[in-house]
Structures are given as C-alpha cells and as structure tokens.
Structure 1
C-alpha cells in the first residue's frame, strides 16, 4: 500500500468507512504516507461519499484523523 497516491488512499478510506471501518487504520496510515510523499497538508473528503454525512459524523471523523496526525476538510 505504500505506493498509493493521495486519491487512491482517499478512495480506500471511503470504501472502508462504508464497510463499517474495515481496516481503517491501515488505510489512514497509507493516506498519511501518501500525503507526506506528495507534500499535501490536509486530506479533503466529499461529504456525500461518507456513511454518516451529517455534522456529528464529520466532526467524529476529523477528531479520529487528527489523533492520527491528519487534518481533514470536507467539500460538498
């Protein structure tokens, strides 16, 4: 998984979230590594692709990713 792009890692996280967070930690680690390689400072997720797209779900996701060292923003 170390050769994934940020977009591929983000897509893997969408799949994981929609599968009850299956292997989420591995996907988050892959995203963090891809962001470091590509010099990206924050991960951007589309709200409509999230399993829980409401405010509470977004804040929970931001909090979890922040603990892993990733800043998350959302687009519509």
Structure 2
C-alpha cells in the first residue's frame, strides 16, 4: 500500500507550521508511516523553512515529534 513520500509529507508539515500547526498530529503520523516505507529512521528538516527558527523552536519541534515516534534532524546540524 503506497502513500505520500517523505518529501511530500515534509512539505505539508512546513505548510502546517506556517498555518498555526493545522492538523500537525495527523501529518506526523503520515510522516512516520512514510519514513517506515522508505526504510528511514529520521526526518530531516531545513531550519530556514521553520516559522520559529531559533534554538528553542527547533528543540520544541524535536521534542514534540519525538513524543510521537519521529526523530527530527536539521540540515547543517
């Protein structure tokens, strides 16, 4: 059974973050499934595309995603 790929879900998460986290929990679950299908263990995000691109915002995002079973890494970190 195929679903959206990791890049598509990541783009949708960026959009969600820009719209006050609309449906973020559903997107995290979709990302988790996409990562499993791709055989990946972590999601990689570009901090420049985040609404809150400071250390506190990045750590908060990592913690929130980790609680839902997704490891978040950032480009250039």
TM-score after normalising by structure 2: 0.94
Matched, 1:67 2:35: no
- How far apart in 2 are the matches of 1:8 and 1:33? 12
Determine helix, strand or coil for the equivalent of 1:72: strand
1:21 maps to: 21
Aligned residues between the structures:
75
Q: Which runs of 5+ in 2 are unaligned?
A: none
1:1-52 CA distance string (max 9 Å, x none): x610000010010000000000001110110000000101100000000000
Q: Which runs of 5+ in 1 are unaligned?
A: none
- Runs of 4 or more, structure 1, over 4 Å off, are none
What's the RMSD between the two structures over aligned residues? 1.0
TM-score after normalising by structure 1: 0.95
2:3 maps to: 3
